[in-house]
Amino acid sequence: MDRLMETILRGEGYEITSADSVVDAIAACERRQFRLVVTDLRLPDGEGTAILAWLREHAPGVPVLLITAYGSIASAVDAMKQGACDYLAKPLQSPDELRLAVRKALAVEQVEREREVLRAEQDERFSCDSLIADDPRMRKVLDLARRVAPTSASILITGESGTGKEVLARCIHRNSRRADRVFVAVNCAALSPTLIESELFGHEKGSFTGAVTQHVGRFERAHGGTLFLDEIAEMDAALQAKLLRVLQEHSFERVGGRREINVDVRVIAATHRNLQEYVASGRFREDLYYRLNRFPIELPALRERGSDILRLAHFFLRRAAESMKRPAITLSPEAEQVLLRYGWPGNIRELENAMERAVILCDDVVEPDDLGITEEGPVRPVLFRDIERQAILDALNANEGNRTRTARQLGISLRTLQYRLKEYGFEGRAAGGE
């Protein structure tokens, strides 16, 4: 990099390390990690592409910005095909040209770095090894998940509501060969038959009233990855036929479209219904059932996982305390006995809600009265709703209506928060955007 460019970038506040040759540049990269490398295409002892090649092998996350003369633009384009993020032609039209190119490269690098952190967190959270499973039935489920994950088989996950079917689906995805691609989830029960067709397969502009733009559906978005179809039993007959065709032919047409769209998607379906009974009564296509049920996995109810209840309770208790910025909270022996004796009709989701409620109500130790349950069932539901409503309102105000930050503070998903906002009439309060 010439001295003028150094001066421009130092003036922007960047810390600069200079090198006059390929050898010196590689030696500098061996000594420390840089966020960006800016190099001339022509150097005294070789080409800047040699630095690019070294970085692609030893530090693949570092972007490379090439500087070249006008006569070598074709070579710079070739270098971009090898992995350079951008190039600038000398002489520069203005210092802003360099400033903008560097800002753009660093912004992309920041996004990629955050994506890697998020991917690592997801790998940890949804690794089969990280899921709580001391109970023999649950250990068997995870063994099945590990075995089927590397294959391309369609999977049908069954189990009562709240048993963690989506978590298991994500675990399978994170342990599959598609782990570096997208995981897309759709709740078939949450959308009307007309809306879900557009959501799954997309639509063309003008295909129906309100279709003012082209819409890319979930199947296209999941290309190369995994599509999770939750509550599959709620899908109507016409859509079942279209889904069957996609599973058989790996292609479909958008609503209002004529062009065949080919996709490579692994489908994991889930339901709390008895699909065999639905097939027998004619409410679910038999051929689709067998197509989805290539590899069935049944999740046990929480009441059948006695040895996991307290570990899960402590996990949710710790997470809720951290999200609410509270010091460590423990369960009293009496509270533990209530948890063990209770039947958990709402399964893991109900247990998580109980721990969140306990963190709101307790001092340092959770007592039975803080749980909101007895051996006979939940108690004081109105009180819990009032507490939850106030907690959401306080978090919304603290985050100036920003829903993403509010959900993060409360330790819940954005989708759960949006559902609660609608339920409690707070939609107008979330004016701060996502």
pLDDT at 214: 77
17: domain CATH number is 3.40.50.2300
The letter for the amino acid at 67 is I
pLDDT at 240: 94
Query: Which pairs from 409-414 meet CB under 8 Å and 24+ separation?
Result: 409/323, 409/324, 410/323, 410/324, 411/319, 411/320, 411/322, 411/323, 411/324, 411/356
Based on the fold, state whether residues 196 and 114 are members of the same structural domain: no
Of the residues 234, 269, 300, the one at which a domain ends = 300
Per-residue pLDDT of the chain (434 residues; tens, 9 = 90+): 577 888 888 888 888 998 989 999 999 988 888 889 999 888 899 888 889 888 887 887 788 988 887 556 677 677 777 778 888 888 888 888 888 888 888 887 777 666 655 555 555 556 667 788 899 999 999 999 999 999 999 999 999 999 999 999 999 999 999 988 889 999 888 777 778 888 898 888 877 777 777 788 889 889 999 999 999 998 988 899 999 999 999 988 888 888 888 899 999 999 999 999 999 999 999 999 999 999 999 999 999 999 999 999 999 999 899 888 888 899 999 999 999 999 999 999 999 999 999 998 888 899 998 998 866 555 444 545 666 777 888 888 888 788 888 888 877 777 778 777 876 766 554 444 44
Q: Is residue 434 part of a domain?
A: no
pLDDT at 333: 94
pLDDT at 434: 44
Based on the fold, state whether residues 115 and 130 are members of the same structural domain: no
- Give how many domains the chain has, as a whole number: 3
Based on the fold, state whether residues 32 and 116 are members of the same structural domain: yes
C-alpha closest to that of 367 among 341, 340, 331? 331
Based on the fold, state whether residues 201 and 293 are members of the same structural domain: yes
Segments in 250-374 forming alpha helices (H): 275-280, 286-292, 309-323, 333-341, 347-361, 368-371
Q: Which residue segment(s) compose the domain that 258 sits in?
A: 126-300
Helix H, strand E, coil C: the string for 45-90 is CEEHHHHHHHHHHHCCCCCEEEEEEHHHHHHHHHHHHCCCCEEEEE
370: domain CATH number is 1.10.8.60
pLDDT at 1: 57
Q: Is residue 256 part of a domain?
A: yes
Based on the fold, state whether residues 117 and 62 are members of the same structural domain: yes
Based on the fold, state whether residues 72 and 17 are members of the same structural domain: yes
Q: Is residue 375 part of a domain?
A: yes
pLDDT at 433: 43
Based on the fold, state whether residues 167 and 274 are members of the same structural domain: yes
pLDDT at 379: 45
**Does residue 24 contact residue 17 with C-beta atoms inside 8 Å?**
no
pTM over 0.75: no
Based on the fold, state whether residues 8 and 73 are members of the same structural domain: yes
Based on the fold, state whether residues 71 and 186 are members of the same structural domain: no
Of the residues 103, 122, 141, the one at which a domain ends = 122
Q: Tell me the C-alpha distance between 135 and 224, whole Å.
A: 34
Two structure tokens written together for 401:
């209506």
Q: Is residue 392 part of a domain?
A: yes
pLDDT at 246: 93
